[in-house]
Amino acid sequence: MSKIEVLMVAQSGLEPTYAHAGDAGLDLKAAADMQIQAHKFVTVPTGVALALPVGYVALVHPRSGLAAKNGITVLNAPGTVDAGYRGEIAVTLINHSDQDFSISRGDRIAQLVIQEVARATLVAVEQLPDSARGSSGFGSTGVR
């Protein structure tokens, strides 16, 4: 599948685009000028609505440059755009830095990765089968 219907609900020029051949994520751009105060978050409109086919999802990922250089990331990363959603995609960004950060209309603020989704049927059982990890908790593998 390679064609997704897109509706620009803001002025043109904000269409999501792949920056380079082979990129997994389309760049999402801000549809408005905004400021994110230090240690606060804002929801930024993108001017983009999609018609994803059933069986696909669009995931909103942070941009590594914004995170590494400015401490700006997607608050609920990755954000999930379900196939049935037809509204404007908005991105909630959080500023982890001590400095306010300005966003201008057209700035690239996030990446949109579109992928197929596997649907599962959950089956209730009395006991789960063993695995190599067992019930070791979150983060149990350490840092080395």
Q: Return the number of other C-beta atoms located less than 10 Å from residue 103's C-beta.
A: 20
Q: What is the pLDDT of residues 43-82, one digit of tens each?
A: 999 999 999 999 999 999 999 999 999 999 999 999 999 9
What's the distance, CA 67 to chain centroid?
13
Q: Among residues of the chain, what percentage have pLDDT more than 70?
A: 93
- Dig out the tokens for 39 from the structure: 């240690």
Per-residue pLDDT, 139: 65
Per-residue pLDDT, 36: 98
Q: Is the pLDDT of residue 143 over 70?
A: no
- Dig out the tokens for 87 from the structure: 């509204």
| Exposure string for 30-42, b = 16+ CB within 10 A, e = fewer | bbeebebeeeebb
Architecture of the domain defined by 5-116: Distorted Sandwich (2.70)
Q: What is the pLDDT of residues 75-110, one digit of tens each?
A: 999 999 999 999 999 999 999 999 999 999 999 999
CA quadruple 53, 59, 64, 69: dihedral sign:
positive
CA-CA distance, 49 to 85, in Å (whole number)? 8
CA-CA distance, 33 to 79, in Å (whole number)? 21
Q: Is the pLDDT of residue 1 over 70?
A: no
> Which residues touch 18 (CB under 8 Å, ≥6 apart)?
25, 26, 27
Per-residue pLDDT, 107: 96
Q: Is the pLDDT of residue 18 over 80?
A: yes
> Which residues touch 140 (CB under 8 Å, ≥6 apart)?
133
Q: How many helices, marked H, and strands, marked E, lie in the chain?
A: 1, 11
